[in-house]
Amino acid sequence: MIRPSPARRALLASIVLVGASLASAVAPPAEAVTVVPFSRPLSIPKVLTGPNITLTARLADVQILPGAKTRMWTYNGTFPGPTIRRPTGQTTTVTLVNNLPPEAGDLTLHNHGNHSTPENDGQPDDRLAANGGGQVTYTYTGTEAGGNERGATQWYHDHRMGLTGRNVWMGLAGMYIIDDPADPQTLPKGAFDVPLMLTDRTFDANNQIRYNPAGNVGLTGNRILVNGVPQPYFVVGDRKYRLRILNASNSRSYTLALSNGQAFTQIGTESGLLPAPVKRTEIEIAPAERVDVVIDFAKKLGQKIVLQNVAASGSLGQLMQFRVMRDLTDNSSIPSKLRALPTLDATSAVTRTFVLSRSRTTGQWLINGLAYDPDRIDAAPRLGTTETWIFKNGSSSNHVIHLHDVDQQLVSRNGVPARPWERMKESWNLAIGETIVLKVKFTDNLGKFVFHCHILEHEDDAMMAQMEVVP
Ligand code: C2O
Ligand code: CU
Ligand code: CU
């Protein structure tokens, strides 16, 4: 095994004390700083739109909480990293430069949701950007199955073997949006199309973070950040806004609802627009999932509406506040038909079943009884064929199964046909005892790709498997 042993990983984790003196990190946390809810404005990450992008991984002191800045591992000095926004069908290169301190080691960059070839997929042990200024250039063609890749809300993050949880926790994540002229153009755009990245972190008395997962169950933080800001407010107009919500947390799931009981209009998932909009008053979002929603603030002028997380209480239940303070005209609309799903072959070539479980002896998370082994191929689908993949959660925890390379269509969940908001995705939350049946078509790309649980402490514990698309 190339990945560090659990003991080695625990040691690595315990020595990651970024920005905190050893003494203060060892001392019991003193009084943590108070955040007055909705006292700071939402921040919108810088947007990069050019064809050749550089992301430099480096230390930066970021203003997250009031008072001392938080030393983080960042892309280009901010958390979240810049939002990359590119038209579909056009080639984009992203060059990762690794200027992090030695304890970060080598890095990879995965464009999550993108249809990348294996060498451009940022796999856990492949084409590493060496610590000390090493760099790797990833090329994305923006094409899929003979056409343009579908418009989608993707994200990029580090994917290093056994260390993804640490590297993402320290700050290595950002959003990547593909704009697609084949999507309806009347949806809210420009300043009314807003990415929201949800993360949770725990800070010490000096406002510093450290990665201490204390086992493999999954690390949660005691504060929730939206675009890196604790409980921000966002001044909006009395019109429709498109919010592309990403759960970039290591392990926490959220259940989103609006404080006035109003419904979201969900228009998309990880894999782009839905066939038709769906109204939902509560939306669960697990790690790595995205929900693309429209909220209409028409006739709400003067109101304050809170985006809640009804899965938790106290400050964890109040994510951000919309202040409807601007009188605007709304020239946007949501068409009743958005985007048809690609058609897959009616018959599948092969059916494969994967059971998610936990070792009774070691407590390790497993897929079909096995931990990840980069030298083992767990599935070898043929290029151009459609297969049925079944995932069963036989463990006592939820998991979020994510497949690289291509999107998947849901046939059924627990025997019930796919609900309208989850017909095509690439990250799937499975509650205890659940079973999903997926159809997957393997287009364009030959070679090896991973699939894994996106609870990052499970992934790093080797709850990952590998497919090889063969001719
Ligand atoms: Cu977002 Cu394999 O990862
Ligand atoms: Cu991915
Ligand atoms: Cu898991």
Q: What is the pLDDT of residues 156-179, one digit of tens each?
A: 999 999 999 999 999 999 999 999
Neighbouring residues of 130: CB distance < 8 A, sequence distance ≥ 6: 98, 106
Burial class (CB in 10 A: 0-12, 13-18, 19+), 317: middle
Among all ligands shown, which has an atom nearest to the Cα of 160? 1
| Nearby residues for ligand 2 (ion, Cβ within 5 Å) | 112, 404
| Among candidate residues 56, 46, 39, 131, the one with its CA nearest the CA of residue 80 | 46
71, 74, 79, 82 alpha-carbon torsion, rounded to 10°: 160
**Tell me: the pLDDT tens digits for 96-141?**
999 999 999 999 999 999 999 999 999 999 999 999 999 999 999 9
31 confidence band (pLDDT: 50, 70, 90): low
Say if residue 467's pLDDT is above 60.
yes
Ligand 1 atom closest to Cα of residue 288 = 1
Which tens digits make up the pLDDT trace of 171-217?
Answer: 999 999 999 999 999 999 999 999 999 999 999 999 999 999 999 99
All domains in the chain, ordered by first residue: 6-29+36-179 (2.60.40.420), 190-326 (2.60.40.420), 351-469 (2.60.40.420)
Ligand 3 centroid from CA 393, angstroms: 9
- Which residues, 6 or more positions from 267, have their beta carbon under 8 angstroms from its beta carbon? 187, 242, 273, 274, 277, 292, 293, 294, 334, 338
Residue 14 clears pLDDT 90, i.e. is over it = no
- The SS3 assignment for 356 reads strand
Report the nearest-CA residue for atom 1 of ligand 1: 112
pLDDT exceeds 70 at position 353: yes
Q: Is the pLDDT of residue 292 over 70?
A: yes
Q: Which ligand 1 atom sits nearest the alpha carbon of residue 404?
A: 2
Pairing of strands 152-157, 283-285: unpaired
* DSSP for 207-231, written as a single string: S-------SSS----SEEEETTEES
**pLDDT tens-digit map of 61-70:** 999 999 999 9
Residue 160 CB less than 6 A away from ligand 1? no
State the pLDDT confidence band at 2, using cuts at 50, 70 and 90. Answer: very low
The Å distance, Cα 115 to ligand 1 centre, comes to 12
The answer to whether 250 touches 287, Cβ cutoff 8 Å, is: yes
Residue closest by Cα to atom 3 of ligand 1: 112
Which amino acid belongs to residue 76? Answer: N
- Residue 287 CA to ligand 1 centre (angstroms): 10
> By the 8 A CB rule, do 308 and 258 touch?
yes
**Whole-Å CA distances, 305 to 17, 153, 298, 371, 418:** 37, 24, 12, 45, 31
Residue 80, preceding peptide bond in cis (omega within 30° of 0): yes
Distance CA 29, CA 122 (A): 36
Q: What is the pLDDT of residue 249?
A: 99
CA–centroid distance, residue 15 to ligand 2 (Å): 28
How many other CB atoms are there within 10 angstroms of residue 213's CB atom?
21
How much is the pLDDT for 285? 98
